[in-house]
Amino acid sequence: MRTWDPTRRITKGQPVEQAKKELARQYRKDRTPAERAVWELLRGRRLLGLKFRRQQLILGFIVDFFCAQHGLVLEIDGSSHEPLARQAQDEERSRILARLELRVIRVRNEEVDAARLQELIRKELNLQSPPLPSGRGGRGVR
């Protein structure tokens, strides 16, 4: 299994058109309801302690969410991604990002929930589930 080197400079120093920067800023302001919900789950390292950035520019693409520590791209796909032509573009984009050794997870709007995202990210990053609490608690079955 490949391991991501977080010191790789994927996002810094890349030549980016000013228009793309403005578009990314606009996307951060005009989020879809699903993107808004995902950001509430991810922001502030709330999900698995991972730091995500939203609407990150990578090779001229604007990805929905990016975790630089693990080279993980999280894309939230709505109805605009349903036409076959758009699906082909998405697949090509994912292949290009994979050549950079980035991992891409695509989630449909209707599949967005904390448990599902946590499961997908754990599986992609091969993270173990946290151990169940053990010991003598004051509120358990005896």
Instruction: Give pLDDT, residue 60.
Output: 84
Q: What is the pLDDT of residues 51-81, one digit of tens each?
A: 999 999 998 899 999 999 999 999 998 765 5
Instruction: Give pLDDT, residue 2.
Output: 52
Instruction: Give pLDDT, residue 9.
Output: 61
Cα–Cα distances (Å) from 35 to 38, 41, 85, in that order, read 5, 10, 22
Instruction: In whole angstroms, give the CA distance from residue 47 to residue 16.
Output: 29
- The low-confidence residues of the chain, meaning pLDDT below 70, are 1-13, 79-85, 129-142
Instruction: Give pLDDT, residue 16.
Output: 74
Percentage of the chain lying above the pLDDT 70 cut? 75
